[in-house]
Copies of this chain bind each other. A is one copy, B any other.
Amino acid sequence: MDQLRETLKGHHLRTTTCREDVLSTFINKKNALSHGDLEGVLGENYDRVTIYRTLKTFLEKGIIHKVLDDEGLRYALCSQNCSEEKHHHDHIHFKCNECGETNCLENLHIPAVQLPKGYQPENFNLLIQGICPNCK
């Protein structure tokens, strides 16, 4: 519980129950979550709008990052300590076509790609879809 407060403080955020609950939901469920997922869990306690704003704040402060698949937008915890200034974002995400869960594969790096002349890459995002170990 204090862990939550620490994290929030570390990112220069006031501790509020909503923020604590959203953060702990991310920590407990390990996979990427959509706004709808969070609303499902916390919707009784907090307003839709508040959850949207919490996500937006977390994004800006570098606590979470966006995860995209063909179904839409989700969010996941940043592994490295991202901050407002510096986001680390060369992610590999694996989406299971069976259970629908999306997870960050933290330890992997995206292999170098030889881009055609003139392209100046800034960040990389690899989405792999398939079957996850749990569904195999």
Q: Which residues of A contact B (CB under 8 A)?
A: 66, 68-70, 92, 94, 97, 105, 107-108, 110-133, 136
**Which residues from chain B contact A68 at a C-beta distance below 8 Å?**
68-70, 127
- Number of copies of this chain that the complex holds: 2
**Cα-based distance from A56 to B125 in the complex (angstroms):** 25
User: Assuming the A-B contacts A68-B68, A92-B113, are A125 and B127 also in contact, with contact meaning beta carbons closer than 8 angstroms in the complex?
Assistant: yes
**Is A121 within 8 A of B113, CB to CB?**
no
Closest CB of chain B to A95's CB: distance in Å?
Answer: 10
In the complex, the chain B residue whose C-beta lies closest to that of A127 is B125
**Cα-based distance from A120 to B129 in the complex (angstroms):** 8
Known: A94-B115, A124-B126, A124-B129. 12 other contacts (CB 8 A): A68-B70, A94-B121, A97-B122, A110-B113, A113-B126, A118-B132, A119-B130, A119-B132, A122-B130, A123-B130, A124-B128, A126-B126
